[in-house]
Amino acid sequence: MLTTIQHGRYSALSTDGLIAYTTADRIYAYDVRTHQSTELSSETKGLRSLQWLEYDSDLLALIYTNSVVLLSIDRPSGLFRINNGSKPSGDIATIAQLSPNLVLVIWDFGRAGLVDLQARKTFEIGNLKTSCDGSPYAIRRTATGRTTLAYLRREGAEDALCIRADTGVVLKETKLPTADAQSISWSPDGRWLAVLDTPIAPTGTKVYFYTPDAKAYTTFPRPPHQWTDDLGIKELTWPQATSSPSEPQALLALSGHSSELVLLDTRKFSPIAILDHTSNTLQPLHSNENKPIWQETVSASGERSYEALRQPVNPIVTRVKDTTDPKELGTAEVAISSDARYIATRDGRYQSTIWLWNASAHGAHEAFTLCALLFQHRHVRKMSWHPIWTSLLLIDCGESNAYLYDVSRPQEPPAVLSLPIPGNLTLKWIAHRDLKDLILLAASKSTWCLMYPNREPHEQLGDSAEHVHQMDDDEEQAENLHDSLHQILTGRTPMPRKSEASYTEMVDLEAESDVTGRLDDTFREKGKKEAVSVGVPDPLDDSEIF
């Protein structure tokens, strides 16, 4: 396995494989495809965070205490600044890009605005609802490149749903029947908009589903279906987003404060399965079939391995004290693969246990059954499916190890990757349609590294990469990526041992709408395009999506 180490504080990862990181006096961007680092800025004083904008994946937002600077990786000399404005609004908390010329900015105390980068003005969004547990806005992106902004508003004691085009024009605004809406989200394919109400609503906990043009479609629960959890719906989870926004998704999950997880189809939003962490799902489905159960063990010397357990087994209760906090009750995490074939779940009482479910509809005896069970040595912090290799699960236990488990090969134990940097690490997949490698990002507060499980240690990535040769491989590299990954997961491939430029002139964009400056060609001459508010195709025209 090949490992590269970079010194600096990791900050953000773009969808195009760009890693933004900082040192004491510089801000850099590292390109995973070219293995080159580019210096972007020397202004680090007052820097709070970095954020890549999803519309232009090479557009980086530098969020400072008093302003936000937008710059392009293609031309870091062309900069654009958005000032905080009046202090009663607080600091800028969120920034998102809707189109080449339109950016959504949300301040700490609920103020929000659409910043027109071409006209150099800010258009206020009044009464944006920020007093909710989840996100008050959601952005819908289609395969044609159009975007739609949906967000919650609160006027008096009533919630409202507002839809805006990527030109900023209001397309639809409608009152919601919710008592206190808590979150809003688009389905990954952009066909549905879900609004989750408060669990203590007088009419009972509900999720409201809308079409892209804000027309009410249905709710859940509804007769004859009931929600048996008295504390209401805790969270709504869609499948992981894919690189193809138009690809339909088959299901979504509703988790509560009990041990059950309800799966709904995305046609009628009716229950298709209930996954229970405490039922007899740990028993074999057939007398001649045993589900794989793997338990991690740590030897006295610190070596980690897995042993197979026989059914039936009982998960180990890890919660020491009883809690009354609703956030700590019931399902702790749900992760659905991008093809909606596999579901990984965790329960708040069993924080070191992972349930892996087969959600495939191929064969009634296989659909929505437990396909594997993992017992980790430490509490699990995060789970994530690979966006492309959808059966590969990354397990993060908050230590210097990464765990990879291929659900399509359930009889093979998880692979343990020893990370070359110590500390409490953050783990992320790096996946892009142009990247053929399996790449894992691990980051601490001062260092980050890239791990290539299917690469030989002697392979060279680029002149800018600092290579750490941890261990020589005795086997030849596999002819294709899947076979190479298979070697890692089966343990046949050995694991590694642990082990100035001046700041350019910026243009001020006052949040109060008093704006000076120019956009230059930072955004690839997109600033030359005239903003169109009329005469464009309706972005909510979904007549062909069904």
The pLDDT tens digits for 438-458 are: 899 999 888 999 998 887 655
The pLDDT of residue 393? 97
CB-facing half-sphere around the CA of 478: CA atoms within 13 A: 16
- 70: which residues sit within 8 A by CB, 6+ positions away? 53, 59, 60, 61, 62, 79, 80, 81, 82, 103, 117, 522
The pLDDT of residue 487? 56
Q: At 101, which amino acid appears?
A: N
Nearest to 121 by CA among 531, 539, 535, 536: 531
Q: Which tokens hold the place of 442? A: 């691990």
Q: How confident is the model at residue 525 (pLDDT cuts 50, 70, 90)?
A: very low
The pLDDT of residue 405? 97
The better pLDDT of the pair 247, 287 is held by 247
Residues 523, 56: contact at Cβ < 8 Å? yes
Residue 85 three-state SS: coil
Residues 504, 521: contact at Cβ < 8 Å? no
What is the rounded distance in angstroms from the CA atom of residue 439 to the CA atom of residue 428? 9
Residue range 210-214: average pLDDT? 95
What is the rounded distance in angstroms from the CA atom of residue 239 to the CA atom of residue 249? 7
* Confidence check: pLDDT of 21 > 90: yes
Q: How confident is the model at residue 157 (pLDDT cuts 50, 70, 90)?
A: confident
Residues 367, 377: contact at Cβ < 8 Å? no
Pairing label, strands 79-83, 506-509:
parallel
Q: How far out from the chain centre does Cα 78 lie?
A: 29
Strand segments (E) across 391-534: 392-396, 401-406, 415-418, 426-430, 439-443, 447-452, 466-468, 506-509
Q: Is the pTM of this model over 0.85?
A: no
Q: Quick one: 237 exposed, middle or buried, by C-beta within 10 A (0-12, 13-18, 19+)?
A: buried
* DSSP letter, residue 361: -
What is the rounded distance in angstroms from the CA atom of residue 407 to the CA atom of residue 416? 15
Nearest 5°: the CA angle 172, 174, 179 is: 145
The better pLDDT of the pair 342, 57 is held by 342
* DSSP letter, residue 424: S
Residue range 96-125: average pLDDT? 86
Q: How confident is the model at residue 316 (pLDDT cuts 50, 70, 90)?
A: confident
Residues 19, 30: contact at Cβ < 8 Å? yes
The better pLDDT of the pair 232, 526 is held by 232
The pLDDT of residue 284? 43
Residue 94's H or E segment, with its range, is: strand 92-99
The pLDDT of residue 248? 57
> What per-residue string of b and e applies to 94-121 under the rule 16 or more CB within 10 Å gives b?
bbbbbbbbbbbbbbeebbbbbbbbbebb
Percent of the chain with pLDDT over 90: 36
Of 227-231, 271-275, 296-300, 330-334, which gets the smallest average pLDDT? 227-231
Q: How confident is the model at residue 85 (pLDDT cuts 50, 70, 90)?
A: low
Residues 111, 89: contact at Cβ < 8 Å? yes
Residue 137 three-state SS: strand
User: What average pLDDT is seen over the chain?
Assistant: 79
What is the rounded distance in angstroms from the CA atom of residue 230 to the CA atom of residue 204? 9
The pLDDT of residue 534? 38
Strand order in the sheet with 271-276: 233-237, 251-256, 260-265, 271-276
Q: Which tokens hold the place of 363? A: 């064969």
